[in-house]
């Protein structure tokens, strides 16, 4: 049975011809009212393809900015402007320009978790689900700068054998998940498979069965014949995993893996967002056209898993 607030959201959504996109880390109630729940790549694909006039982005600022770049004619709303990504803010366009000046001729790849101005400085953008495939396609005689996540960058370097110049950024939520945490949960559930996000870093490689983006974790859990999984990423994903697989069991690698920014969006804020057309996320034309090139290249590369 839907509540008053859910009905209000539905009504306002029709009124604005809006689509609600939610990341896998959103709170359960927000995931449940969304038209599409997914990972950064899946959400970008949806944002680029939707016929709606308005996109309500239940995620963090860089995701809404990405939607605004991919669909510049659309009205993109972020229900809470304070929902940022601390990792994305660990690099500025000026810092990247300085790094590029030290490595003339290098190709520059950014994780989608970056401000629009940083994307505008890059040749390629990627998400955790297609980073390895994208880097594998780059000419072998070129140096590669990868920003801002040193852990995803290291994972890609390990997988591709490419020498990469890494920026020292990281996700404050994923680094809370330690190898010891995983070992402890594994002791209690020895037959569970460990699925970890590459933002966790090398320290968890030895105790992990599969390194996957959030969208890949959902696909993997559904298709696997295993019935128990230890999940090493932000806790919001457990909602979808449990909902889609009622006969399987999911255990958090660490209860500390909570991203406070992803939890800022609530049903009330989604309703206010639709009611007052707030908060509009706009990226200026010059940055949009420069960042678009890197984002279009990201959308061309399908994930292997």
* Binding region for ligand SF4 (CB under 6 A): 60, 85-87, 113, 171-174, 199, 234, 259, 261-262
Please provide residue 196's backbone torsions phi and psi, each rounded to the nearest 5 degrees. Answer: -125, 150
**b/e map of 47-78 (b: 16 or more CB within 10 Å)?**
bbebebebbbbbbbbbbbbbbbbbbeebbbbb
214 binds, among ligand SF4, ligand 13P, none (CB under 5 to 8 A by kind): ligand 13P
Shortest distance, position 67 Cβ to ligand SF4, whole Å: 15
Bridge pairing between strands 228-232 and 210-211: unpaired
Helix 61-70 and helix 285-300, axial crossing angle in degrees, nearest 10 = 90
One character per residue 79-108, x = contact with ligand 13P (rule: CB under 6 A): ------x-----------------------
* Token pair recorded at residue 241: 């995993």
What DSSP letter does each residue of 178-239 carry, written as one string? -HHHHHHHHHH-TTPEEEE-GGG-GGGGGG-SEE--HHHHHHHHHH-S--EEEEES-TTHHH
214 touches ligand 13P by CB under 6 A: yes
127 binds ligand 13P (CB under 6 A): yes
Nearest approach in angstroms of CB 301 to ligand 13P is: 13
Of 75, 23, 26, 99, which is closest to residue 267 (Cα–Cα)? 26
Residue 88 or 274: the one with the smaller Cβ distance to ligand 13P is: 88
Phi, psi of 304 (to 5 degrees): -75, -30
**Of residues 177 and 294, the one with the C-beta less far from ligand SF4:** 177
Q: 36-38 and 107-111: which strand pairing?
A: unpaired
- 86: partner contacted, choices ligand SF4, ligand 13P, none (Cβ within 5-8 A by kind): ligand SF4
- Options 26, 31, 40, 75; binder of ligand 13P; rule CB under 6 A: 40
149 binds ligand 13P (CB under 6 A): no
Which residue in the set 75, 113, 130, 254 belongs to the binding site for ligand 13P (CB under 6 A)?
113
Chain residues in the site for ligand 13P (CB under 6 A): 24, 39-40, 85, 113, 127-129, 171, 197, 199, 213-214
């Amino acid at each position: 049975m839907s509540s008053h607030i859910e009905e209000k959201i539905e009504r306002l959504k029709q009124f604005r011809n809006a689509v609600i996109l939610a990341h896998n880390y959103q709170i359960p109630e927000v995931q449940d009212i969304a038209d599409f729940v997914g990972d950064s790549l899946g959400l970008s694909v949806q944002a680029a393809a939707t016929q709606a006039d308005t996109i309500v982005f239940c995620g963090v600022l860089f995701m809404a900015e990405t939607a605004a770049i991919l669909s510049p004619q659309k009205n993109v709303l972020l229900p809470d402007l304070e929902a940022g990504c601390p990792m994305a803010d660990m690099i500025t366009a000026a810092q990247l320009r300085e790094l590029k000046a030290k490595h003339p001729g290098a190709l520059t790849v950014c994780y989608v978790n970056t401000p629009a101005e940083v994307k505008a400085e890059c040749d390629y953008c990627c998400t955790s689900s297609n980073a390895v495939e994208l880097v594998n396609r780059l000419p072998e005689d070129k140096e590669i700068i990868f920003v801002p996540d040193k852990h995803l960058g290291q994972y890609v370097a390990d997988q591709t054998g490419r020498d990469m110049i890494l920026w020292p950024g990281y996700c404050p939520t994923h680094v809370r998940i330690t190898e010891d945490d995983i070992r402890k949960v594994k002791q209690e559930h020895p037959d569970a498979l460990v699925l970890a996000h590459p933002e966790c870093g090398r320290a968890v490689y030895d105790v992990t069965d599969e390194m996957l983006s959030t969208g890949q974790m959902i696909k993997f859990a559904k298709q696997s014949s295993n019935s128990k999984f230890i999940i090493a990423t932000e806790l919001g994903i457990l909602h979808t995993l449990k909902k889609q697989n009622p006969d399987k069991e999911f255990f958090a690698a660490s209860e500390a893996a909570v991203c406070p920014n992803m939890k800022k969006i609530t049903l009330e804020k989604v309703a206010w967002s639709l009611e007052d057309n707030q908060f509009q996320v706009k990226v200026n034309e010059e940055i949009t056209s420069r960042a678009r090139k890197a984002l279009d290249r990201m959308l061309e590369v399908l994930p292997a898993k």
